[in-house]
Amino acid sequence: GELGRRYPWFTLARIYPLFGIRSSSLRQFRPRSLKRLLSLAGMAEIIPKTLRPGTKVTVTLVNDSSVTGFVHTHDQSTRLLMLRMPLTHTTLSSELRCLAMDAVKSLVVEEGGETPKAVKPTTKKALAAREQLALRHCEEMMAELNDAASAEGQAVFDALHKTLDCKWVDGVAINVLDQVRIEPPYSPAQCASIDGDKDAHERIVKIVQAALSRSEDPSKASPKAAKAAAIPPGI
């Protein structure tokens, strides 16, 4: 059929193992599936596996826009092509752009390649350690959120946490530096000193007052916060 006309040296029996398709699945193949398989085979020709890092290429995308840069890396398993694009008039020397191979219409190798950038070797142990560090940071960030607290309480916590070490205790109370404990409804009157330090208590009360004032009147928020609040969710 269409596959045999385009790729006469291919047969389905030789292609499907390349894409993890079992022989029993061939009976369930639909035109859309066949079209996808043809796309995968065609992409292998557009972006050859022998494409070397540092090669200068011009890539035309399916929307007819073009991108010129140096190959940083490409991966057939994830079907991604990463290009390094030099920048001017900026403190950054270059930027990396990640392209999905399915979005590539054509690729042309240009003259003037560069020496591939040195890539530091890594190990599974180093990658696992980095993953654990990222998970720990994520857990720390999630610990700052409290679904049981009111919006005012979360606003007070966020304001305090910017400059002071604080944590949620006993469900909805805020402990600041083990010096002040703030109970709902998180008003200045609910700020109780733990160690008797009057200066620390007064400083924290001022932060609480400012946070509550901003939450009640959005116009008093910083320009950056006001801009962020104006962006619709998901944008």
What pLDDT does 189 receive? 92
Return the pLDDT at 193. Answer: 93
pLDDT of residue 112: 81
Distance CA 55, CA 114 (A): 6
DSSP state letter for 184:
T
The conformational region for residue 20 under phi > 0 = left, psi -120 to 50 = alpha, else beta, is left
Beta bridge partners of 99: 81
Q: Which of 158, 163, 146 is nearest to 211 (CA)?
A: 158
By the 8 A CB rule, do 78 and 101 touch?
Answer: no
Task: Strand 166-169: give its sheet, edge to edge.
Answer: 166-169, 173-176, 180-182, 191-193
Which pLDDT does position 114 carry in this prediction?
Answer: 82
- pLDDT tens digit at each of 235 positions of the chain: 444 444 444 444 444 444 444 444 444 444 444 444 444 444 445 666 677 888 899 999 988 889 999 988 888 778 888 898 888 777 777 888 888 888 888 888 888 888 877 767 778 899 899 999 999 988 888 888 898 889 889 999 999 998 899 999 998 999 999 999 999 999 999 999 999 999 999 999 999 999 888 877 655 554 444 444 444 443 3
Q: 3-class SS at 74?
A: strand
The pLDDT of residue 219: 56
Task: Quote the pLDDT of residue 111.
Answer: 85
CB neighbours (10 Å) of residue 35? Answer: 11
Report the predicted TM-score, pTM, of the whole model to 2 decimal places.
0.44
